[in-house]
Amino acid sequence: MTRIAVLTAVALVALSLAACGTGGAREDGAATVKAVSTISVFEEIVRQIGGDRVDASSLLPAGADPHTYEPTPGQVRAVTEADIVFANGLDLEPGALKVIEPNLPGGTPVVKLAEEAIDAGFPAQEGEDGPTNPHLWLSVDAAREYARTIRNALTEVDPEGAVTYNDNYEAFLNRLDDLAEYVEGKLASLPTERRKLVTTHDAFAYMADYMGLEVVGVVAESPGQEPSASDVANLVRSIEELGVPAVFEEPQLGAEASVLERAAEDAGIEVCTLYSDALDDDVPTYIDLIRHNAEEVARCLSE
């Protein structure tokens, strides 16, 4: 083989390897950006913005609780092959991050969406030691910040996709504008005295602010906490004193839901459903999640 032929072969190998790396393009024009999210809500938004250029997946299976879930050894491989990871931060998914961070390839970014939104100026709900509630995305205003961060992060990893990511981002913002208008119309006639939420855990503070509601009771501050008999009794008493017409459970929470159902039975009121951390076949997208929650609040609190 001549020297020119050898150099040509080496160059072809180098190009082939580059095409398999971060942001590389396949022959069909689609990128090979592998974006792993901690939960399905983020995966779905990444898919909306990334389009065909991004292979989006999430670590947590449908119905899993991010507060307590720890990825299986088999899921570690997805992490080791990731070009970028999207998490929430603010201690939403400690078990997942414990697996993600030591198994990422060198230089692979971990983008913590809630923390980025707060850094960009979205108002956090503060506790004694800083922001305490991680569920920012349940406000559509915060979802706009999540989407902006995702667009910017994907562009950083895959600069050739910048136009695609920005076009998809702008289209997603338009859908969020339509969603905001729908939510406002759906809740416009709900009386102030009925805008009270009792839920399984303290996930809905940002949604409550966005929709003009008030969280007046939770079974547990965080999932996995076992409420005492006195906690349940106090919850029933609060429900009765405040005249709450319904309470709200979450599909992925079992023990807390049973406590809430018992309290609702004692108070003689309906148990309804709100989504927070997970999507499923009934609520397959972020926009479906917010629409469902607005419809459920309007239905259950107006009766």
Asked if residue 194 and residue 128 are part of one domain, the reply reads: no
Work out the angle at residue 207's Cα, subtended by the Cα atoms of residues 201 and 213, and round it to the nearest 5 degrees.
95
Asked if residue 200 and residue 148 are part of one domain, the reply reads: no
- Compute the chain's Rg from CA coordinates: 22
In a domain, 234, yes or no: yes
CATH number where 294 lies: 3.40.50.1980
In a domain, 293, yes or no: yes
Q: pLDDT tens across 77-115, in order?
A: 889 999 999 999 999 999 889 889 899 988 999 999 999
In a domain, 150, yes or no: yes
Report pTM.
0.87
Query: What residues contact residue 183 under an 8 Å CB cut-off, 6+ apart?
Result: 140, 210, 211, 290, 291, 294
Strand partners, 273: 249
At 90 the three-state DSSP class reads: coil
Asked if residue 162 and residue 44 are part of one domain, the reply reads: yes
Query: How would residue 17 be classed by pLDDT, with cut points 50, 70 and 90?
Result: very low
Which domain does 86 fall in, by range?
22-183
Q: What is the pLDDT of residue 254?
A: 61
Largest CA distance in the chain: 90
Asked if residue 200 and residue 173 are part of one domain, the reply reads: no
- Measured CA to CA, the distance from residue 182 to residue 5 in angstroms comes to 64
Q: pLDDT tens across 70-79, in order?
A: 778 778 888 9
Q: What is the pLDDT of residue 225?
A: 60
Whose CA is closest to 89, among 36, 143, 59, 133?
Answer: 133
Mean pLDDT lowest among 26-40, 54-68, 181-195, 256-270: 26-40
Asked if residue 236 and residue 155 are part of one domain, the reply reads: no
Asked if residue 147 and residue 266 are part of one domain, the reply reads: no
Helix (H) or strand (E) holding 49: helix 40-50
Cα–Cα distances (Å) from 124 to 28, 47, 129, 210, 214, in that order, read: 43, 26, 12, 13, 17
Query: How would residue 221 be classed by pLDDT, with cut points 50, 70 and 90?
Result: low
Asked if residue 297 and residue 217 are part of one domain, the reply reads: yes
Number of structural domains found in the chain: 2
Asked if residue 253 and residue 268 are part of one domain, the reply reads: yes
| Boundary-marking domain end, from 157, 183, 209 | 183
